[in-house]
Structures are given as structure tokens and as C-alpha cells.
């Protein structure tokens, strides 16, 4: 299963940057396995211990080609209500609407009331336009008579201004959801500059957005880890969809002794399967495949982008210039870089190396062939 597949690259995404953006509807996880897992969990748990069966995926659930079939099967084997958390960008497609009609609650996200702000915060694939998003939400609301709860993620300085909230309020009035849930990023955002507004800002936003809006706490819930014998497997299962602070992780994995969890983290970090991401001074453990721009953390490696320049020969004197030339050559292939920041850094290195390259060319005879 890919770490994340999505048609957006939200600045606040806890799973890091989306690379590449995809709109393909595919069977990313075998549909039969999903239904079997739901069946197993609902048999193992007392029904009164579960409120909802929620589909959210590691990425956008409506890009799963058999979501409709999965929902219909789950409803056959369980009396529990089914919710789907979606970014709503494919709701303009009638077949996606049709599949979600079987759910009991649909929770699309909507962070902006204008196309410009939508592109700034959600950074969607070009095909996922703001006009299509709005068209899809309004069309789905007309067809879906059950619970339509819209999720708004507030990003400080972006969609929490008076103007942004007034635009959003006008759009929400056109859509007419039953409820509007307002939250703020609590886990490491993809971009290091994303800040979460305070609780008072969430309350002010709720007041500005009207009666259907209310602040909500981010999902915490307990994880059922009974299927895992091994602490290393449990750590991976927990962290893949939800980066966590070490304290949270210890709480979640309290079936094991803290020393066992610490040894598991150290092993996974050594094997480069986990990384530590630091955001605003807080450290989170995350899967190493997730892409967060920023400085590497000493414990675990942050996903620091860039080409393998460290493998280039290091040298002194004229050979230092050869290294610079090699850096210049590497920067030609920007696809080797995983983020815009890395490309920028490499370009700067290349620019710095340009005078050295010129000097070397003019003294080519001084160098062995």
C-alpha cells in the first residue's frame, strides 16, 4: 500500500507532502481485505464499544476504485453506522456520489471560500478545481439526505481572517451542511511554517460561521492492537496513518513496557523505517517514507530531500572544485530532488560552484584525464 495517495497536497497534511498527486481511482488496498478486517474487528469487539465504522484511508478514500462495494459489504455484515471522511474533490463525479449515498455520514473538508485560498491551502491537482469542488458539494447535498458534516481545518494567518471566514460562511450557506466541524492542525504539518490557531480562534470562527459550526477536538480514540504480537509491527501500524509524539505513542502502546517500545523505536530508526519530524519545537515519530521538508533531527532521520551529493568524492585544493563540478552536473536532473526547497538549495550550490567550474575549464590541462 502506498504511504499516501491523494489528489491534494494540503499545507497542513500530517502525512507530509503528496508525491506524486494522483486522481487515479484504483484498488490501492484489496477491497476483500478491507471487508475481512472490518468483519474481524466487529466480531472481536462488543458492538457497544464502537460508535462508527469510519473510512478515511492514508490519503483520499474516494480514490479507491471499490469504495462503493466496500461500503455496501460492510453494511451487510455490521449494523454499525458508516462514515466516510473525504476531501470532497471527486464529489462532482456522479459515480462517486452514488457510492457515498450508501454511507450514514459523509464528512468532506472545505477550508476556503475562494479559489485562490483553496489553491494556497490545499494545493490540488489542476483537474480538482474549486468550481468542481463547490459543484460536487452542492450536488451531493441535494442527493444525500443523511448526515453531511463539513470539516474546516484552520491555518493561522490564512483562512482565519475576517474576509476568509466571511467567504467561507457564504459558501457554507449555499451548500447547507447539517454540521460544520472546526479544527486545527495537531500533528506535524507538511510545511514547517503552518501554525495552529488557539482555542479562542476556533470559538471565534464558530461564531462567525453560524449555528451549524462548532470547534471539535482532533480524533484521539484508542487503537485495537490485539492483532499484533510484536511491538515493532504495532509501532508501524500505529505510526503509518498517524505521526505521534513519543508520549502519545507510549500511551497507545501501553500493552508493552516503555523499554520495549523504546527499543522498537531505536531499531526502526536504525533501519531507516522511521524518522523524527520536528515542528514548532515538538518532535513526532513518523514513517520514513513521509516527506516533510525541514532540518534533519538527530534521532531518526527527517525526510531531508536531496540528491546523493555526499557520495561525491570529497577533495581539497583543486579536487574541491571537482566536487563542485559534480554538484553542478547533479543539479541538471531536478527530478532527483524530492522538494522545491532541495532544488533551491542545489541551485544555490550550483551557482556558487559556477566560478570554480569556469576556473577548472580554463585550467583543464592541470587535471588528469
- Contact set with ligand SF4 (CB under 6 A): 6, 8-10, 13, 15, 18, 59-60, 87
Residue 160 Cβ vs ligand SF4, minimum distance, rounded to whole Å: 17
**Nearer Cβ to ligand SF4 (244/265):** 244
Residue 187 Cβ vs ligand SF4, minimum distance, rounded to whole Å: 10
Residue 109 Cβ vs ligand SF4, minimum distance, rounded to whole Å: 7
Report the distance separating Cα 141 and Cα 146, nearest Å.
9
Report the distance separating Cα 348 and Cα 306, nearest Å.
13
Q: Please state whether 174 falls in left (phi above 0), alpha (psi between -120 and 50) or beta.
A: alpha
**Nearer Cβ to ligand SF4 (50/216):** 216
The candidate with the shortest Cα–Cα distance to 343, out of 330, 360, 355, is 330
Beta bridge partners of 250: none
Report the distance separating Cα 64 and Cα 62, nearest Å.
5
Residue 202 Cβ vs ligand SF4, minimum distance, rounded to whole Å: 18
The candidate with the shortest Cα–Cα distance to 197, out of 163, 160, 225, 172, is 160
CA angle 55, 64, 223 (to 5 degrees): 30
**Nearer Cβ to ligand SF4 (63/324):** 63
Q: State whether residue 215 is helix, strand or coil.
A: strand
Residue 153 Cβ vs ligand SF4, minimum distance, rounded to whole Å: 8
**Nearer Cβ to ligand SF4 (10/164):** 10
Q: How many other C-beta atoms are found inside a 10 Å radius of the C-beta of residue 335?
A: 7
Residue 15 Cβ vs ligand SF4, minimum distance, rounded to whole Å: 6
Q: How far is CA 161 from CA 68, 195, 202, 285, in A?
A: 38, 14, 12, 32
Q: State whether residue 156 is helix, strand or coil.
A: coil
Q: How far is CA 96 from CA 8, 93, 132, in A?
A: 17, 5, 13
**Nearer Cβ to ligand SF4 (15/67):** 15
**Nearer Cβ to ligand SF4 (109/252):** 109
**Nearer Cβ to ligand SF4 (191/321):** 191
Q: State whether residue 254 is helix, strand or coil.
A: coil
**Nearer Cβ to ligand SF4 (125/299):** 125
The candidate with the shortest Cα–Cα distance to 236, out of 220, 221, 255, 249, is 249
In the block, residue with C-alpha cell 470559538: 203
Residue 258 Cβ vs ligand SF4, minimum distance, rounded to whole Å: 31
Q: Are strands 147-153 and 82-86 parallel, antiparallel or unpaired?
A: unpaired
Residue 88 Cβ vs ligand SF4, minimum distance, rounded to whole Å: 9
Amino acid at each position: 500500500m502506498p504511504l499516501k495517495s491523494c489528489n491534494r497536497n494540503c499545507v497542513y497534511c500530517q502525512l507530509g507532502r503528496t508525491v506524486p498527486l494522483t486522481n487515479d481511482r484504483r484498488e490501492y488496498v484489496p477491497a476483500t481485505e478491507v471487508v475481512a478486517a472490518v468483519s474481524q474487528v466487529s466480531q472481536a469487539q462488543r458492538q457497544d464499544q464502537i460508535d462508527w465504522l469510519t473510512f478515511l484511508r492514508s490519503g483520499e478514500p474516494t480514490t479507491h476504485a471499490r469504495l462503493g462495494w466496500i461500503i455496501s459489504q460492510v453494511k451487510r455484515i455490521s449494523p454499525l453506522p458508516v462514515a466516510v471522511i473525504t476531501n470532497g474533490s471527486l464529489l462532482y463525479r456522479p459515480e462517486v456520489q452514488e457510492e457515498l449515498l450508501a454511507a450514514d455520514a459523509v464528512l468532506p473538508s472545505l477550508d476556503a471560500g475562494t479559489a485562490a485560498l483553496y489553491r494556497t491551502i490545499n494545493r490540488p491537482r489542476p483537474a480538482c478545481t474549486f468550481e468542481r469542488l463547490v459543484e460536487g458539494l452542492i450536488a451531493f447535498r441535494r442527493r444525500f439526505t443523511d448526515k453531511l458534516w463539513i470539516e474546516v481545518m484552520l491555518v493561522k494567518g490564512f483562512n482565519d481572517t475576517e474576509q476568509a471566514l466571511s467567504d467561507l460562511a457564504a459558501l457554507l450557506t449555499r451548500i447547507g451542511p447539517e454540521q460544520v466541524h472546526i479544527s486545527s492542525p495537531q500533528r506535524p504539518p507538511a510545511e514547517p511554517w503552518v501554525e495552529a490557531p488557539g482555542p479562542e480562534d476556533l470559538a471565534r470562527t464558530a461564531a462567525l460561521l453560524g449555528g451549524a459550526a462548532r470547534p471539535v477536538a482532533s480524533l484521539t480514540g484508542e487503537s485495537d492492537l490485539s492483532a499484533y504480537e510484536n511491538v515493532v509491527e504495532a509501532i508501524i501500524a500505529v505510526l503509518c496513518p498517524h505521526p505521534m509524539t513519543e508520549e502519545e505513542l507510549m500511551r497507545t502502546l501501553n500493552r508493552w513496557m516503555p523499554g520495549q517500545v523504546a527499543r522498537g523505536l531505536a531499531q526502526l530508526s536504525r533501519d531507516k523505517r522511521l524518522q523524527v519530524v520536528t515542528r514548532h519545537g515538538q518532535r513526532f515519530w513518523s514513517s520514513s517514507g513521509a516527506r516533510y521538508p525541514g532540518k534533519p533531527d538527530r534521532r531518526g532521520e527527517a525526510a531531508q530531500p536531496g540528491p546523493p551529493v555526499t557520495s561525491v568524492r570529497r577533495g581539497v585544493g583543486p579536487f574541491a572544485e571537482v566536487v563542485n563540478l559534480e554538484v553542478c552536473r547533479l543539479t541538471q536532473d531536478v527530478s532527483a530532488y524530492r522538494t522545491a526547497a532541495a532544488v533551491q538549495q542545489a541551485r544555490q550550490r550550483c551557482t556558487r560552484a559556477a566560478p570554480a567550474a569556469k576556473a577548472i575549464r580554463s585550467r583543464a590541462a592541470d587535471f588528469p584525464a
